[in-house]
Amino acid sequence: MSYYQTILRPFLDANLDAILRNLGKDFDSNDFITAFRLLFPNEYATALRRSSSYRAIHTWVARWYLSGRTDLLQKGDIRQRHSDNRNPTKNHTWIKL
């Protein structure tokens, strides 16, 4: 967990405005991660290498990072969709304040 706290969280904090500018008024964690991946592909690749799995980084962003940014975001409804590998999933939406 220390990589997330010491490296990834400060990086996301420093670049949060750039990521949010690429998202609509409401978005889910997958949208956030996709924007992060497209804007900062090298940092995203590093995060994947440092994480125990693809799922681990996505879970951390969805459950811990976005939930900790209540100064800029509000949790919305649950959106059902299909994941990248077409599995059904449910994600909270986030609303920019």
Tens digits of residue pLDDT in 27-66: 999 899 999 999 999 999 999 999 888 888 888 998 899 9
The pTM assigned to this predicted structure is: 0.86
- In this predicted structure, the answer to whether residue 1 has a pLDDT above a threshold of 80 is no
Tell me the C-alpha to C-alpha distance, in Å, between residue 43 and each of 3, 15, 90: 12, 11, 26
* 8 A C-beta contact, residue 89 and residue 55: no
Please give the C-alpha separations between residue 3 and each of 40, 41, 56, 75, in angstroms, as whole numbers.
17, 17, 12, 25
**What mean pLDDT is reported for the chain?**
89
The structure tokens listed for 50 are 């440092």
